[in-house]
Structure 1
Amino acid sequence: MTTIAVTGATGHLGRLVVEALIARGAAPGDIVAAVRDTAKAAPLAALGVQVRRADYDEPPTLAAAFAGVDRLLLISGNAVGQRVPQHRAVIDAAVAAGVGFLAYTSILRADSSPIGLAPEHLATEQALAASGIPTALLRNGWYIENYAGSVAGALHTGTIAGSAGDGRIAAATRADYAEAAAAVLLSGEAGVYELGGTPFTMAELAAEVAEQSGKPVAYQDLPVAEYQAVLAGLGLPEAYAGLLADTDFKITEGHLDTGSDDLAKLIGRPSTPLSEAVAALLKA
């Protein structure tokens, strides 16, 4: 019996990883859903999954949550700027608990990416290397669901704004990345996995939305400063809006594209087609 723990298991990705583990044959009782709020994990408990409290900001909860765990998935936190100490707390607790294998959701080419989100991921990868735990680095590309708000807004405005030019984005769905994580957790194979789907441009995304919705939708490419202003106008903090706008510009330089087929190999099929992903976004 191998006990597998998933942090952030009530989040969008974590929940899908738990479901993918079960679909791939893992016994629910051998899965630990490590969550900050156990009340939100009732649907997972109903599946027969163990639910344990684990808060990245409260190390004692991590030690208890990882007791008896053989393999652990560390899903990166969403508190940008605070993730390195949070992740180190998880890694330290995993070492103390004797966890034998750890997988981490990183970012494409974390060791060379100029994207502003990359340094925290690289620091975490370095902490994992220093820990001595056999590790799988799941370097996830962009999530197609990142464009949910843009797609919904485009149905009213007729445009999807950005600073990506004609750069290609090897995005995939959360479900695709969740299946890949489950496959690695079940195999226990350490390594570096550069994960991404079939690439598309923002113009192609807009065209797919237009075709499926029957409404005129086009991509509007903006200078970074203008796109940052658009994001700030939607209520995002100025600094975070700047980070996202700069990330969008980095797409023009190919930093969210990948020639790797690691994702397809792990999940045993091609990534979800853009047409299917857009259809799901339009139904949401």
Structure 2
Amino acid sequence: MSIVVTGATGHLGRLTIEALLDRGVPADQIVALGRDTGRLADLSGRGVATRRADYDDPGSLRAAFTGAEKLMFVSGSEVGKRVVQHGNVVTAAKEANVGLIAYTSIANADTSSLVLAAEHKATEQLIKDSGLPYVFLRNSWYLENYTGQLPTYLEHGVAGAAGDGRVSAATRADYAAAAATVLTGSGPANTRYELGGPPFTMTELATEISRQAGTPVSYTDLPVDRYTELLVAAGLPEGYAAVLADGDRGLAQGELEVGDDLAKLLGRTPTTLAEAIRVAL
């Protein structure tokens, strides 16, 4: 069995490889892919095969997928370019006759109105059209999106445009562990999992930070355009700020709240908001 993992130089791809190793997959049956193989040297030293792969380079993908039984397809990070890039991945996977594609999509991809969802929905269709067996790992937000901002929250409070919407955020490690479960299991193909942890509101986020840090933190809810302006004023590019604010709009409408698929795949309760904040603090 050969499991190929794309994006191995990134957080989720690397954690998926670690989760596969933790589940007892022999290192020589795992192939780690990245644009810069130098950043994969430590994995190579542990017996994991490494190959160069670039979503903009179809030839590199064809070579990288040779002999792959299963492919962990981590979505690209270049918003606006992903349909073409992902099409290259799917075409190469079909040419390599990959036995299963596990694609990291977004929560409720087929019904979501989020700007970020459009490329994921298009990619899911490309995979379906390829005729290859697939599993869609529809991840909600990362808890790290929030815990990574703790210094800002403690100084300025939490701001957003999420209203009373609840987000089923989970840690990257939990999403990776779920992916490893799918890649090493014998579950049904041509299926999807809506993945996320115990949901919470932004007010609950602020309350939990206050409780653990001993510093009063409140949530300020803003209209989407005002929140976009705030993010731009904080130094974010306007386009990126607009995407983040649109994410809060979708959150307010319930588009990032999902059920318990993640818990079922993990066989346990995913890391909670309180646990993640405790570790981050």
TM-score by length of 1: 0.95
What is aligned with 1:234?
A: 234
What is aligned with 2:103?
A: 104
SS at match of 1:139: strand
What is aligned with 2:47?
A: 48
Q: Does 1:167 align with 2:165?
A: yes
Q: Give 5+ residue unaligned stretches, structure 2.
A: none
What is aligned with 2:68?
A: 69
Amino acid at match of 2:222: L
Amino acid at match of 1:233: A
Amino acid at match of 2:195: L
Amino acid at match of 2:102: A
- Whether the aligned pair in 1 keeps the contact of 2:147 and 2:276 (CA below 8 Å) is no
- Whether the aligned pair in 2 keeps the contact of 1:101 and 1:188 (CA below 8 Å) is no
- Whether the aligned pair in 2 keeps the contact of 1:151 and 1:160 (CA below 8 Å) is no
Amino acid at match of 1:214: G
- Mapped to 2, the partners of 1:127 and 1:160 lie a distance apart of 38
Q: Does 1:198 align with 2:202?
A: no
- Mapped to 2, the partners of 1:77 and 1:152 lie a distance apart of 28
What is aligned with 2:270?
A: 271
What is aligned with 1:209?
A: 209
The counterpart of 1:185, out of the listed 183, 186, 190, is 183
Q: Give RMSD over aligned pairs.
A: 1.1
Identity of aligned residues (%): 55
1:248-275 alpha-carbon deviations (Å, 9 max, x no partner): 02211111111x2111111111110111
Q: Does 1:280 align with 2:279?
A: yes
- Mapped to 2, the partners of 1:13 and 1:152 lie a distance apart of 23
Alpha-carbon offset, residue 156 of structure 1: 2.0
What is aligned with 2:257?
A: 257
Alpha-carbon offset, residue 234 of structure 1: 2.5
SS at match of 1:26: coil
What is aligned with 1:220?
A: 220
- Mapped to 2, the partners of 1:245 and 1:149 lie a distance apart of 17
- Whether the aligned pair in 1 keeps the contact of 2:137 and 2:179 (CA below 8 Å) is yes
- Mapped to 2, the partners of 1:242 and 1:226 lie a distance apart of 10
- Mapped to 2, the partners of 1:270 and 1:149 lie a distance apart of 22
1:47-75 alpha-carbon deviations (Å, 9 max, x no partner): 21111000111111111111111000110
Distance 1:82 1:188, change over 3 A: farther
Q: Does 1:246 align with 2:252?
A: no
Amino acid at match of 2:262: L
- Whether the aligned pair in 2 keeps the contact of 1:180 and 1:263 (CA below 8 Å) is yes
Q: Give 5+ residue unaligned stretches, structure 1.
A: none
What is aligned with 1:25?
A: 24
1:1-37 alpha-carbon deviations (Å, 9 max, x no partner): x100000011011111000001111111100001111
- Whether the aligned pair in 2 keeps the contact of 1:6 and 1:18 (CA below 8 Å) is yes
1:222-256 alpha-carbon deviations (Å, 9 max, x no partner): 11111101111222221221121121022111111
Amino acid at match of 1:236: L
TM-score by length of 2: 0.96
- Mapped to 2, the partners of 1:47 and 1:162 lie a distance apart of 43
- Whether the aligned pair in 2 keeps the contact of 1:264 and 1:270 (CA below 8 Å) is yes
- Mapped to 2, the partners of 1:192 and 1:5 lie a distance apart of 20
SS at match of 1:220: strand
- Whether the aligned pair in 1 keeps the contact of 2:16 and 2:179 (CA below 8 Å) is yes
- Whether the aligned pair in 2 keeps the contact of 1:162 and 1:248 (CA below 8 Å) is yes
Matches within 5 A, 1:88-99: 88-99=87-98
Amino acid at match of 1:134: P
